[in-house]
Amino acid sequence: MTRLAERRSSCLGVCRVRSARGVPLQEIFDRWVDRFERWRLRALSDLERRAGEHDMADRPIFVYVTFIQATAERVWHALTDADVTAEYWAEHSNVSDWQVGSAWEHPRTDGSGIVDLVGTVLEAAPPKRLVITRTGPNEERPDGPGRVTFDIEPHGDIVRLTVTHENLADHDEHVSVSAGWPSVLANLKTFLETGHVLPQGPWEMYAEMRAARMARNDPR
């Protein structure tokens, strides 16, 4: 029997072919496949993430920047304290413990018990950054709730507050928040700098739009 025939004969049973370094070729193959699989899964994950970002980018987005003569801590407190928000936030307050994963509510301050907005705290890094979801309590949104980010950046004796409202449902909601956020933030700025809110609520200029939005949650 030739040497080649002997080798073939010896492999008729269980034959573990090894590389020059003594590592089974099957093990090398498995490692290579495992690396490829990890790369493939990462690639799929990146594609899904980019697709989600693309979908959100196709929807309206609202960004508003204001500068306030106050500390970052005071601005954070004004955004998250229920009693303080009731002073300037269009006859509403914001109620939560502001821990990541906690719910928050936007109830009216007229004693009716009606809540006009709800959401979840996604990020909370006092006094720098707060991220929440935001939607109506009975609103069904196929693409998920809106997302609001408050970025607080101190600079000397002032603070730059940037509010970014993403994943807006449609053009109508963009029009609504484009009127609402500047009104609320103007009142916030005035309150922190003077101790008083504006003589008239800026939202009164959009009374019809505001009344229609609030009527959605009014059971009467």
Question: Do the domain assignments include residue 7?
Answer: no
**CATH number, domain with residue 177:** 3.30.530.20
Least confident residue range of 12-21, 95-104, 123-132, 140-149 = 12-21
Please give the model's pTM, rounded to 2 decimal places.
0.70
Rounded to an integer, the average pLDDT of 8-37 is 57
> What pLDDT, on a 0 to 100 scale, did the predictor assign at position 13?
47
Tell whether 174 is covered by a domain: yes
Higher pLDDT, 32 or 2: 32
- Which two tokens mark 86? 């009731």
In a domain, 14, yes or no: no
Number of folded domains that form the chain:
2
**Position 85 pLDDT exceeds 90:** yes
Check whether 18 has a pLDDT greater than 60. no
- Average the pLDDT over 35-47 and give the result: 60
Residues 37 and 84 in one domain: no
Residue 119 lies in a domain: yes
Which residue range is the domain that position 52 belongs to? 23-58
Quick one: which of 133, 129, 153 has its CA closest to 141? 133
List, in sequence order, the alpha helices (H) in 14-152. 25-57, 72-80, 82-88
Residue ending a domain, choose from 5, 37, 58: 58
Q: Confidence class of residue 149 from pLDDT cuts 50, 70 and 90?
A: very high
Residues 121 and 154 occupy one common structural domain: yes
